[in-house]
A and B are shown apart, each in its own frame.
Chain A
Amino acid sequence: MIFSLESAYFYTKLFTVVVFTIQFIEYFNLRNFLTEKGVWSFKNTESFFPLKSRHSLKILGFLIKYPNIIALLSFRQTLILFSLFLFKPLIFFLIIISSLLILSRWRGNFNGGSDAMSLILIVGLFFGALGKGTSWEHLGLIYIAIHVCISYFKAGWVKILKPEWRKGSVLNLIIQSSPYPYPLGFFSFIVKPPYAPLICVSILFFELSFPLALINPSLCLIYIFFGFLFHAMIIYIFGLNRFFWSWLATYPSLFYTSLFVSHI
């Protein structure tokens, strides 16, 4: 194969390191919000935890209260960096556990979708490390590729059921939820006819047909190209940088899986 299993894992790991490093820097930058005087103090958020026992809540509090949360973030970041050189299941298992703890701190308020995809990347790498040296070795990459296809397809399926997406009238309304100033400046034309309906239909077609990327490597590269543009546009409009990097990190797995499928 032109893109070997080792290369696919290497690039997936490399982009995953980028994804988690971005998260680390951003969380570190926002650490004041996590102190007991900050917005997300543990005192203010502990009622959200569905833990019945006071003892469990105390243990959880110890792990995710400030400043221990910073130690936990640093621990995860160290493991992520190690994972580039040590492809061991234990490393990825510990990253999964620490990620779940970190996510609980924000109650999922922080970029739910990109966090979910980051976890899927780590779970895929965990499967890959578990199967290393066996015939199941490529399972981790296939797991990631299937999830990325589901993510686009499901997003498209929910949209096509909405008349405002089919008519193209939704774009102007959704863009207003961006934290950035509205209107969009140079790109303002995209919310007006005939561009808005055209963009909506293109997004629906791209998302719903995305699983086709799995059946042919050339087609896969085309989808990766448009995926890149799609996420770049989302970053520009909504500033969702983590989405861009999380989905980008899945593309090596996607391409490898399309090569694998085409060889069956």
Chain B
Amino acid sequence: MMSFLKVFFPSWNFFNTYNDLPTLEFKIPNTNSWQKVFSPPQRTFWFWFINPRVNYLHAVNNHLLLWLQELQVDPPNHGEALLQNSHFKIAKKMAEQELRIKNISMPYELRLVLISVLDKSKNVILEFPVSM
């Protein structure tokens, strides 16, 4: 409850520094190219007022950052632990929903990567298959 009340005393730390970018990528089996699950949206006039898509993408990014923090402290020690992890379930669902919109059907492979903003190098954090 106390952590919940933090919202009344915000830290107001905005853009204080840069972060490497947590990104979900997918790959169709027997292909070599990994692609981003979420494609960048385009700016429109309405984004000044109503912008659910971009707010959702920010929420996805926040979720992946929280998951990364958890993985650094408590990495899963076996496959079942990962499957039962709430962060994992949400991230998997995010990818499934997005790829369904793009008409990409299962099975595919998913991975969580951290992309460096300095040199664009990728650090693969987790890789997992998604099937029916």
Contacts and interface: CB of A to CB of B under 8 A. Distances in A.
Nearest to A18: B49
Interface string A22-36: 100111011001000
Given A50-B3, A179-B54, A44 B86 contact: yes
B94 interface: yes
Interface string B52-79: 1011111101110010000000000000
Contact of A158 (B13, B89, B90, B94): B13
Choose among B12, B61, B89 the residue with the greatest number of A CB atoms under 10 Å from its CB.
B12
B43 A236 contact: yes
Nearest to B65: A109
A22 B41 contact: no
B90 A39 contact: yes
B18 A164 contact: yes
Interface of B: 1, 3-4, 7-8, 10-19, 21, 38, 40-43, 47-52, 54-59, 61-63, 66, 86, 89-90, 93-94, 97, 117-118
Nearest to A49: B4
B62 A109 contact: yes
The size class of the interface chain A forms with chain B is 35 or more
Contacts of A104: 4
B12 A151 contact: yes
Given A110-B55, A151-B10, A177 B19 contact: yes
A236 B42 CA distance: 11
A104 B4 CA distance: 8
Contacts of B50: 22, 25-26, 29, 241
A239 interface: yes
A25 B49 CA distance: 10
10 contacts: A22-B50, A33-B56, A38-B97, A44-B89, A100-B7, A109-B59, A164-B17, A179-B38, A180-B40, A238-B58
A116 interface: yes
A241 B49 contact: yes
Interface in A180-196: 180-182
A90 B2 CA distance: 23
Contacts of B56: 30, 33
Interface in A45-81: 45, 47-48, 50
Nearest to A179: B57
Contacts of B118: 173
Contacts of A158: 13, 16
Contact of A170 (B8, B18, B90): B18
B93 A39 contact: yes
Contacts of B19: 177
B43 to A, nearest CB: 6
Contacts of A239: 41, 43, 47, 51, 54-55, 58
A242 interface: yes
Given A26-B55, A44-B93, A116 B4 contact: no
